[in-house]
Structure 1
Amino acid sequence: MTTLTLAEITKDNVEDACDIAVAKRQRRFVDSVAESLAEAYVQPEVAWPRLILDDGEPVGFVMAGFDPAAKADFLRCWLWRLNIAAGKQGRGYGRFGVHAALDEARRREQKTMSVCWVPGKGGPEEFYLRLGFRKTGQLHEKEVVATITL
């Protein structure tokens, strides 16, 4: 039995985080961890980036955003990024990361969480729908917007 945990990104594990790369066919659907951390760096009051660990081994990255002042309601609490290493997919790490972000949203007393994805064959749509997210009918920068009630 493995133990899944989250770790804050620090100077000691940032390289491990940046080494996480999704499968080549998925790169058009999600930005790299390095790009995500750059976005987090310039918005530290909004970004919640975490490394997903399996018995201490980095296997993924999840980042949520919490911005109560956002003009768009779906950007007040959203799953910003999810990257699971190419050789580690299909083992529940993505589900774990999403549930961890949902738990953080609940801890912050949020009522819903949003996620956006690039539509297309091989994309993450079915994954998010299986987890309970429902499409809103909105598009944000050509990405599908979905929400889940917490």
Structure 2
Amino acid sequence: MSELRLVELSPATIDAVNNMSLKPGQEDFLSPVSYGIAATVVNPRTSWQRVVLDDDEVVGFLSANFDPEAPREHFRSVLWRINVDAGDQGRGIGRFAVERLLEEAHQRGFDHVNVMYEAGEPGPEAFFRHMGFEPIGETEYGEVIGQVTSSVLHG
């Protein structure tokens, strides 16, 4: 890894984000990228979408939302999507992205970030647990609600 950085999703990066590859089986746990990108159109005031660059190469995508007025608490500070290109997984890119997300949440006055995911292999559960997300409940659709506090980063 040279130099990882986050930039806003833009016309210059959207094609590369849409063309990121997944490892076999991961597609079962991830909705199409266009669903995550649609959040910006639906809620531009609260949506936070970033692309992870390694030098100038797109290696990851992160979609989150910060809405203190969301009707359900687990939607107020939430990671909607994170994916790292298959060839770049295991290099710390996901960790980098989640750490920047926690910093953003902290700057916005949130003390935690939630995530919702389906349990199972080869799903994202192990990654989220490794990043400090602890299960706190379940959605009405049976997905796990995980939560990590900003104290993981700001102890």
TM-score range for the pair, normalised by the shorter chain length:
over 0.9
Instruction: Note the C-alpha offset of 1:44.
Output: 0.9
The residue aligned with 1:118 is: 118
* Cα distance in structure 1, aligned partners of 2:49 and 2:84: 14
Give the corresponding residue for 1:129. Answer: 129
1:86 maps to 86
Identity of aligned residues (%): 37
Deviates more, 1:32-41 or 1:72-81: 32-41
Q: Distance in 2 between matches of 1:99 and 1:75?
A: 19
The TM-score normalised by the length of structure 2 is: 0.90
Secondary structure, aligned partner of 1:120: coil
Once the 2 structures are TM-superposed, how far is the Cα of residue 140 of structure 1 from its aligned partner?
Answer: 4.5
1:95 maps to 2:95: yes
- Deviation of the 1:22 alpha carbon: 2.1
For the residues of structure 1 that align with 2:147 and 2:29, how far apart are their CA atoms?
18
Aligned-pair distance for 1:145?
0.2
Higher helix share: 2
- TM-score normalized with structure 1 length: 0.93
CA distance in 1, matches of 2:44, 2:21: 23
RMSD in angstroms over aligned alpha carbons?
A: 1.3
Distance in 2 (alpha carbons) for counterparts of 1:56 and 1:140: 40
Q: How does 1:51-70 map to 2 (within 5 A)?
A: 51-70=51-70
Contact kept? 1:21, 1:83, Cα under 8 Å: no
1:14 is paired with a residue whose SS is: helix
The count of corresponding residues between Structure 1 and Structure 2 is 150
Please name the residue that 1:105 is paired with: 105
d(CA) in 2 for partners of 1:77, 1:15: 27
Find runs of 4+ consecutive structure 1 residues off by over 4 angstroms. none
Aligned amino acid, residue 53 of structure 1: L
Moved more, 82-91 or 37-46: 37-46
Unaligned segments of structure 1, at least 5 residues: none
* SS state at 2:91 partner: coil
Match of 2:153 in 1: none
Q: Please list, as runs of the form range in 1=range in 2, the aligned pairs for 1:30-49 lying within 5 A after superposition.
A: 30-49=30-49
Which whole-Å deviations, capped at 9, do the CAs of 1:86-108 have from their partners, x for residues lacking one? Answer: 11111111111111111110110
Q: Which AA in structure 2 matches 1:7?
A: V
Deviation sequence 1:6-25 (CA, Å, 0-9, x none): 11111222212211232231
